[in-house]
Amino acid sequence: MSIQHSQINLSRRSLFKFGAGAIGTGVLTAGLSSNLLAAEIAPAEDEITPDKALQELLDGNERFAQRKRRNPHQTYSRLAEIAKGQKPFASILSCADSRVPSEIVFDQGLGDLFVCRVAGNIATREEIGSLEFGSLVLGSKVIMVVGHERCGAVDAAIKGAEVPGQIGSLLEAIKPSVESSKGKSGDKLENACKANVLAQIKKLNSSPVLSELIKAEKLKIVGAYYDLDTGKITIVG
């Protein structure tokens, strides 16, 4: 991820305009270099609203599910266009599952999406920090947390699987969602997957950086569930 004056165009005034009470906690000043504080936000970053960004994701997925992909922004000219700067309109927190590649299922291309992928689509400190950067600095207007059908990580958490190495840390993060979904009618795994999506949204909403962007109507955070059989995204919440 390249950070340059011409790409980021972020000023100290822009960083703190969301309110000293919530963001003036050292999160921004400690995490962003003096280079980021030197310039102004480019007007182009504000041209798309959170609602329009969300609709663009949903429209792209509809094209994918209907086998009508346009494959936008996937040319070598697009590669050259964004080589020195990025302005993704949306961020995705999704599972690392190889069957859920964001750019494909949302029919997007180079420079369109800021994607964080981790098994179980959990919002770790590192994932939250990445999404804060994608929204505050790069100008992403929507964060979509995407769970999916038959998620192996959630299934393992349900079964209380004995796992080696650091895999257990993923399951521990998912277990509260498994507990909260118990007793609900319907498919147990699907219920837990959707509960996990909502739990990660709650974590993201607790971020001072993201919550202030939401209050300023510069960001929307939504949950979604991906059907592996149809390729269709449905909103969760």
| Per-residue model confidence (pLDDT) at position 14 | 47
Q: Look at residue 98 and tell me whether its pLDDT is greater than 50.
A: yes
Domain membership of residue 151 (yes or no) is: yes
Within-domain flag for 19 = no
In the structure, what pLDDT confidence band is assigned to residue 186 with cuts at 50, 70 and 90? Answer: very high
Supply the pLDDT for residue 47: 80
The residue range of the domain holding 168 is 47-236
DSSP 163-190: --TTHHHHHHHHHHHHHHHTT-SS-HHH
Question: Can you give the CATH number for the domain in which 207 is found?
Answer: 3.40.1050.10
CB 175 within 8 A of CB 153: no
| pLDDT of residue 13 exceeding 50 | no
Which band of pLDDT confidence, cut at 50, 70 and 90, is reported for residue 237?
A: confident
Is residue 57 assigned to a domain?
Answer: yes
How many residues belong to the chain? Answer: 237
> What 3 state SS string does 212-234 have?
HHHHCCCCEEEEEEECCCCCCEE
**Which residues lie below 8 Å from residue 83, measured CB to CB, with a gap of 6+?**
none
Nearest 5°: the CA angle 71, 76, 79 is 90
User: Would you say residue 17 lies in a domain?
Assistant: no
- Residue 193 located in a structural domain: yes
pLDDT at 46: 52
**Is there a domain that residue 32 lies in?**
no
Give the E-state strand segments of 37-159 in sequence order. 90-94, 113-117, 142-148
In whole numbers, what is the pLDDT of the chain averaged over residues?
A: 86
Please give the pLDDT value at position 164: 97
Assess whether pLDDT exceeds 90 at residue 34.
no
Q: What is the pLDDT of residues 49-65, one digit of tens each?
A: 999 999 999 999 999 99
Residue 216 has pLDDT above 80, yes or no: yes
Average pLDDT over residues 135-150: 98
Position 201 scores a pLDDT of 98
Residue 171 located in a structural domain: yes
Assigned domain for 207 exists = yes
**What is the model's pLDDT at position 20?**
38
Q: How confident is the model at residue 140 (pLDDT cuts 50, 70, 90)?
A: very high
Question: Count of domains in the chain?
Answer: 1
Q: Which helix (H) or strand (E) holds 63?
A: helix 50-65
